[in-house]
């Protein structure tokens, strides 16, 4: 788990100052307030505030004493000089840092440890989408044809490992019907479709019809194709054409 935390929210020094500020504006009348502040100032000059103890530094183990010397991060107290990047030792107080297993890293060092996206080559800061053994930003994992995000959606890749949505993959690579020229692919939501291959040609079931009478050749009484000179015909129409041809031949004689 990796959490992005900013140490500026939990800085001890600024916490104390904010608290004092609230006390000063306590709804009293201005002259009373001025008197009180003056008294306080004189008091403070004679009695410097005792140094405040914040706890033990999680890094060096020494006490953290005095306003502005310490900070808290990841539920621990640190000296300002001890709260540094594990890799490059940059001081992290007041800067965005990344906590990985209770260790703090500056942003550049953290980014260097990240996997990069197979599409845009930039580091992946948040969720990694893994597909076909590679890492992607979820927003980079899109169909190469329609650019739709395929995060959590079934996809497939071509021989060159290009990502396709199922629909575009079929449109591009599915065999085309020799009658209507459209790809022969499953209907939306379907896994499979039936392709009829006849005379070395591909057909949709609905397009596999007798060229003369238009009856479906894949079902019904007229099942089966009786081709003649490359024409797709039912048995009846095939017989009629042959009879017509022989009649013509007889007449021609």
Binding site for Zn ion (CB under 5 A): 57, 59-60, 79, 82, 85, 87-88, 90, 106, 109, 117, 119-120, 137, 140, 143, 145-146, 165, 168, 177, 179-180, 204, 207, 210, 212-213, 234, 237
**In the complex with Zn ion, which residue's Cβ is closer, 60 or 247?**
60
**In the complex with Zn ion, which residue's Cβ is closer, 33 or 63?**
63
Shortest distance in whole angstroms from residue 135 CB to Zn ion: 9
Q: Are 234 and 210 in contact (CB under 8 A)?
A: yes
For 48, phi then psi, to 5°, come to -55, 135
Residues paired with residue 97 on neighbouring β-strands, in sequence order: 5, 106
Shortest distance in whole angstroms from residue 181 CB to Zn ion: 7
Shortest distance in whole angstroms from residue 4 CB to Zn ion: 15
β-strand 134-136 against 129-131: which pairing, if any? antiparallel
Q: How many residues does the chain have?
A: 253
Q: Look up residue 12 and give its two tokens.
A: 């001890």
**In the complex with Zn ion, which residue's Cβ is closer, 33 or 167?**
167
Number of other residues whose CB lies within 10 A of the CB of residue 23: 9
Q: Look up residue 115 and give its two tokens.
A: 């996997």
Q: Are 137 and 122 in contact (CB under 8 A)?
A: yes
**In the complex with Zn ion, which residue's Cβ is closer, 16 or 100?**
100
**In the complex with Zn ion, which residue's Cβ is closer, 146 or 199?**
146
**In the complex with Zn ion, which residue's Cβ is closer, 140 or 185?**
140
Contacts made by residues 177-186, CB under 8 angstroms, sequence distance 24+? 177/202, 177/203, 177/204, 177/207, 178/202, 178/203, 178/207, 179/203, 179/204, 179/207, 179/208, 179/209, 180/204, 180/207
Shortest distance in whole angstroms from residue 74 CB to Zn ion: 14
Question: How many angstroms separate the CA atoms of 179 and 187, rounded?
Answer: 18
Q: Are 178 and 203 in contact (CB under 8 A)?
A: yes
Shortest distance in whole angstroms from residue 42 CB to Zn ion: 35
Shortest distance in whole angstroms from residue 87 CB to Zn ion: 4
**In the complex with Zn ion, which residue's Cβ is closer, 33 or 55?**
55
Question: How many angstroms separate the CA atoms of 146 and 158, rounded?
Answer: 15
| Rg over CA atoms, the chain | 40
Shortest distance in whole angstroms from residue 14 CB to Zn ion: 19
């Amino acid at each position: 788990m990796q959490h992005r935390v900013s140490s500026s929210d939990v800085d001890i020094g600024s916490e104390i100052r904010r608290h004092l500020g609230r006390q000063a504006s306590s709804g009293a009348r201005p002259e009373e307030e001025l008197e009180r502040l003056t008294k306080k100032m004189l008091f403070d000059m004679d009695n410097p505030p005792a140094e405040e103890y914040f706890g033990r530094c999680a890094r060096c183990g020494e006490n953290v004493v005095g306003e502005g010397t310490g900070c808290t991060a990841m539920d621990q107290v640190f000296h300002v000089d001890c709260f540094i990047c594990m890799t490059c030792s940059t001081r992290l107080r007041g800067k965005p840092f990344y906590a990985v297993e209770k260790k703090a890293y500056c942003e550049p060092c953290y980014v260097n440890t990240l996997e990069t996206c197979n599409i845009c080559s930039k580091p992946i800061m948040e969720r990694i989408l893994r597909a076909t053994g590679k890492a992607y930003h979820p927003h980079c994992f899109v169909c190469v044809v329609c650019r739709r995000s395929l995060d959590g959606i079934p996809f497939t890749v071509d021989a060159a490992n290009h990502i396709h949505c199922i629909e575009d993959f079929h449109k591009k690579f599915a065999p085309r019907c020799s009658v209507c020229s459209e790809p022969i692919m499953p209907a939306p939501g379907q896994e499979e479709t039936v392709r009829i291959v006849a005379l070395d040609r591909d057909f949709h079931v609905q397009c596999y019809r007798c060229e003369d009478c238009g009856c479906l050749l894949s079902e019904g009484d007229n099942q089966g194709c009786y081709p003649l000179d490359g024409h797709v015909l039912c048995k009846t129409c095939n017989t009629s054409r042959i009879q017509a041809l022989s009649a013509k031949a007889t007449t021609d004689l």
